[in-house]
Structure 1
Amino acid sequence: MTIELTHPYSPEKHHSHRDVTGGWLRPAVFGAMDGLVSNLALIAGVVGAAGAGRGAVVAGVAGLIAGACSMAAGEYTSVKSQTELMRAEIAVERRELARNPEGEQAELAAMYRAKGLDEDLARRVAEGLSADPEQALRVHVREELGVDVDDLPSPYVAAASSFCAFAAGALVPLVPFLFGASGLVVAMIVSVLALFGFGAAVARMTARPWWLGGLRQLALGVAAAAVTFGLGHLLGVTVS
């Protein structure tokens, strides 16, 4: 008689995670949405004031270039400042490890005791990690600052992501006018589809309901365009 052994559990299935620490997603999403919404609102305001025509095209192109450059410069400066601050704090930790390695090792052991390890195991873990100064630095920086020494955000990546994303978003409401559109209807239809589609795509990327993300972004974009169109129409400012 053959006896088959069964187990109440299945073998572990290894899985991978997406990069959630890189410096590209936030500026890319923010840039694309900012470009689409702000340029749609700008064009809507101009059309509301003076009607469709050369003024709408000029405003749209100017909004695209100025906004993309501004976004890139702002992201570069903010991420560069953040990275410089991180590097300064890492340098402080490096000096402390060189000046007082025993104290830093004791501090690391205390951290692991606070996480639930018993005193002897925490001491041995801290001792083993502290044997290599570079490894000790990585551990201290990660535990104390929540920063990965080898994966600091890049200001260049953030700036490039912002510039390209803003330009791509700002181009959406401008394209119909470049091809001779005589009113805001076509630009609004194209922008509405883009707003919903991009919002849905971002929601799927972040494991949220796609329809909720699409509707949320659509509502924000249409509201901004409606406000500026109404103000432009009420003020009646002419663009020459």
Structure 2
Amino acid sequence: MSAAPVASLAMYDLPQLRPAIDRLWQAIRDRMRADGIAQVPDALAHDRPLETIWRDPALVLAQTCGLPFMTTLRETVRLVATPCYDLPGCDGADYCSLIIVRSDHPAQRIADLRGGIAAINGWNSQSGMSALRAVVAPVAGGPSFFRRVLVTGAHRDSLRAVRTGAADIAAIDCVTHGLLADHAPGECAGTRVLCRSPTTPGLPLVTAAATQDEVVQRMIAALEAVMDDPSLASVRAILHIKGIARLTAADYAPIRTMGEAAAARGYPALG
């Protein structure tokens, strides 16, 4: 690794959660150093673009979306562990997306959204794009279902687009939705859950691909110690993290097969 190690826990980095995220990182950092991992940054890289963090050869630890983990980042990062959350839609290390519409939208099922506008956070998002595609594919009847797809850049912005009427539907990561409902409920006001997507493994914690096996095992041990530390119970409660799971890259295969199944139904791209 280079002389400038980097770490990020920005996938669920709501402003209201920043102090708790920083406290969690401090505990992880100190435990890693105590376990002999010397190159660990003092602070998280909160404002650096995630794509550059994920691809930095000095990456110590970051959380990424499962879709790029299984596609564009396959040769760049390696799996460390997967956080488990205690929020609606989560089951151990698995999670889903909540399909959101306005509270006053007449839709009762996905088919009722044909010809509408979909909001997604990005084309390479498992929870915002691929999960919605998986829900639409069985009823799409061809490659075109929505009149338009609006790319917002973030789940919170997709939720806002639905709330304000700029879009009719969005798939929101259930962890993001649960954290907003807990810490910023006004952002969920005026919307409702139409249905849920199938579950897949949640957002993995990854490190640079060149990180040695022994170091990865020390990282996992450090994470497990932090999850068991009673002095951090209030921090974990704020973030709704109840532990970590030791998954393998093979456990993330459902993310790839979800896209393949949509393509097999004649709906390879959200549209």
Identify the TM-score tier after normalising by the shorter chain.
under 0.3
Structure with the largest fraction of strand: 2
Structure 2-normalised TM-score?
Answer: 0.23
Structure 1-normalised TM-score?
Answer: 0.25
Larger RCO (CA within 8 A; separation ≥ 6): 1
Q: Which has the larger Rg?
A: 1
